[in-house]
Structure 1
């Protein structure tokens, strides 16, 4: 398969992942599916890991990868594959942007999962909004989820959505890393495997 065609497949895969991440981040603004005051929303949600990192920053690489297959640059210096080589090389820069965005989302998600959600809990016989869990202790002990009084179901909501963001971010990291390698091969071979054999004008 031509490296441009392979990049298009990666772009097609990245787009739905980006959409899922944006939706997950938006849902996190409604802990437990409830509307709460902004100061009661877990602070990692405001870092926009899904919206900015795995969402907006992932759209640009995805669109670039999608366009590589249809790149019809007329070439330069009499070499028809020159434009394609440059396009594949430039795709590496956009893949790097994707790596940064996905990496940011993964880090934010991991921190949020370890910390747990902000919720209304009883501390010293007083109900306050706080982070009742420590160092991910709730991950292996679901019995302490009852520490969160409100919103109902906030722990599973928080854990599920940030877990999805974490997994999606890791997948995006892998896909962008693959494109870095694919882009290097495309730049060296002139987009298509046949170009390596001396037929630089092949599509």
Structure 2
């Protein structure tokens, strides 16, 4: 497959993933599906905006760059038809690195949030983190320690798990594009960028 076509496919895949990450992070601002009475009742990791900034907004830029690589027509510099395409592929490596950093940030935030568990109201009516070191993941009987909001534990776990999974996919896709971009920089796009010239 041409390096430009491959990059375009990656860009097409990254955009819906970025949108889903944005939505997951936004939904986490409503613990258990309810509007929080106070901002302090929202889990701290939600405020790190891993899904909104890291694997959401920041991922849009690499995706758009990858989408535009196939249609890049900046050819002909220095008498070499493919040098413009090679430079574009080199630029995609930089944006792929940005994507890896953004998605990596979201991955770390999500993993920490899953391990720590949600902030919720416990028996003494205070708001705290009743779980430690992910012990609630395998022992569902501990979930009852969260008195409010209702269903906050599965809500927290499901959304952060989705963020974690999608962020890992984004890391893999951006890393793949970094390799693809390196190949495109060295070898050029196998399909060419200015068409095939005919000689008499």
Cα drift, residue 159 of structure 1 = 0.1
Residue 67 (structure 2) aligns with: 66
Q: What TM-score does the superposition give when structure 2 sets the normalisation length?
A: 0.95
Residue 23 (structure 1) aligns with: 23
Deviating beyond 2 angstroms after TM superposition, the runs of 4 or more aligned structure 1 residues are 199-203
Distance 2:85 2:196 in 1: 11
Please list, as runs of the form range in 1=range in 2, the aligned pairs for 1:156-175 lying within 5 A after superposition: 156-175=154-173
Cα drift, residue 3 of structure 1 = 0.2
Question: Secondary structure of the residue that 1:74 maps to in structure 2?
Answer: coil
Q: What TM-score does the superposition give when structure 1 sets the normalisation length?
A: 0.94
Distance 1:189 1:201, change over 3 A: farther
Distance 2:179 2:41 in 1: 43
Residue 187 (structure 2) aligns with: 189
8 Å CA contact retained: 2:75, 2:194? no
Cα drift, residue 131 of structure 1 = 0.4
Residue 121 (structure 2) aligns with: 120
Distance 1:95 1:114 in 2: 28
Distance 1:185 1:83 in 2: 15
Residue 53 (structure 1) aligns with: 54
Matched pairs, number: 196
Please list, as runs of the form range in 1=range in 2, the aligned pairs for 1:20-169 lying within 5 A after superposition: 20-36=20-36, 37-122=38-123, 126-169=124-167
8 Å CA contact retained: 2:4, 2:189? yes
What residue ranges of structure 1 are gaps of 5+ in the alignment?
none
Q: Confirm whether residue 4 of structure 1 aligns to residue 25 of structure 2.
A: no
Distance 1:10 1:202 in 2: 26
Tell me how large the CA RMSD over aligned residues is.
Answer: 1.5
Question: Secondary structure of the residue that 1:99 maps to in structure 2?
Answer: helix
Cα drift, residue 200 of structure 1 = 8.4
8 Å CA contact retained: 2:29, 2:46? yes
Distance 1:42 1:18, change over 3 A: same
